[in-house]
Structure 1
Amino acid sequence: MLKEFREFAMKGNVVDLAVGVIIGAAFGAIVNSLVADVIMPIIGAITGGLDFSNYFIPLSKAVNATNLADAKKQGAVLAYGSFLTLTLNFFIVAFVLFMIIRVMNRVKRKQEAAPAAPAKPTAEVELLTEIRDLLKKA
């Protein structure tokens, strides 16, 4: 059983998937930082200092906090600011992946469109071609 597991784990697809998941997690952290630390502050500055992360709607009368963390401690809240931030994260990731796949497809099309260099005939093929040409002359 251990041998079978080792064979399964060392297959190319499993290793490729593991690398993809690890890179995806790191990429997700970068996108989260981009959105939280760069894009949202710019949007906040444009909109007059609004902080989307603290936008919420209290779902009970007991909630009277001014920030999301305290409001969640007091009761149920609808944190639509967090949802907006995560939605923006998703669109950024989707756009970046779209651009990467688009470039990859262009490169692939160029490779397919490039004419392959004619293969040099082997010695046997050259010899057979000479014999054929001699027979045509006779």
Structure 2
Amino acid sequence: MFKEFKAFINRGNVMDLAVAVIIGAAFGKIVTSLTDDIIMPMIGKIFGGLDFSGYFLTLGPIPADYKGSLASYADLKKAGVPLLGYGEFVTQVVNFVIVAFIIFLLLRAVNKAMASVAADKAREEAATPAPDSAEVVLLREIRDELQKRSGAA
């Protein structure tokens, strides 16, 4: 069983997938930072200090022993208060749009590169004449032989 597992892990596709997952996780952190630390603050600045992550609706009672801020989404959530965090949702939607757009750009570049390679290959194949068939070669030999005989006569 260990040998089968080792053979499975050593396959190229599994290793490629592992690398992709690790890079994807790191890329997700970069996009989250880009959204949280750069894009959302700029949007907030444009819209007069708007901070999406702090927008929420309280859906249930706040515990009597709660001592945190009533305006802190994180503190209320930690205290178990039922909340509708639509600001956090907007932040996650922006994250998704950024990731989807970057993936779109990457796939577009890869598709263009692959199309370019395919076009180059097609040009090479078109430039190289196809070898003559056996029938054409035989007919040429017959023609040449007949020309020799008629020239010798």
* C-alpha distance after superposition, 1:40-67 (max 9, x if no partner): 0000101111111111100013277111
Mapped pair 1:68 → 2:92: no
Structure 2 gaps, min length 5: 64-68, 146-153
- What TM-score, normalized to structure 2? 0.76
Of 40-49 and 64-73, deviating more is 64-73
Instruction: Kindly report the root-mean-square deviation, in angstroms, between the aligned alpha carbons of the 2 structures.
Output: 2.4
Residue in 1 that maps onto 2:40: 40
Percentage of matched positions with identical amino acids:
45
Looking at structure 2, the residues matched to 19 and 136 of structure 1 have their Cα atoms a distance apart, in angstroms, of 64
Looking at structure 2, the residues matched to 136 and 23 of structure 1 have their Cα atoms a distance apart, in angstroms, of 66
Residue in 1 that maps onto 2:83: 77
Deviation at 1:134, TM superposition (A): 5.6
Structure 1 gaps, min length 5: none
Residue in 2 that maps onto 1:111: 117
Looking at structure 1, the residues matched to 143 and 26 of structure 2 have their Cα atoms a distance apart, in angstroms, of 68
Looking at structure 2, the residues matched to 88 and 131 of structure 1 have their Cα atoms a distance apart, in angstroms, of 70
Looking at structure 1, the residues matched to 34 and 81 of structure 2 have their Cα atoms a distance apart, in angstroms, of 30
- What TM-score, normalized to structure 1? 0.84
Partner amino acid for 2:84?
L
Deviation at 1:107, TM superposition (A): 1.1
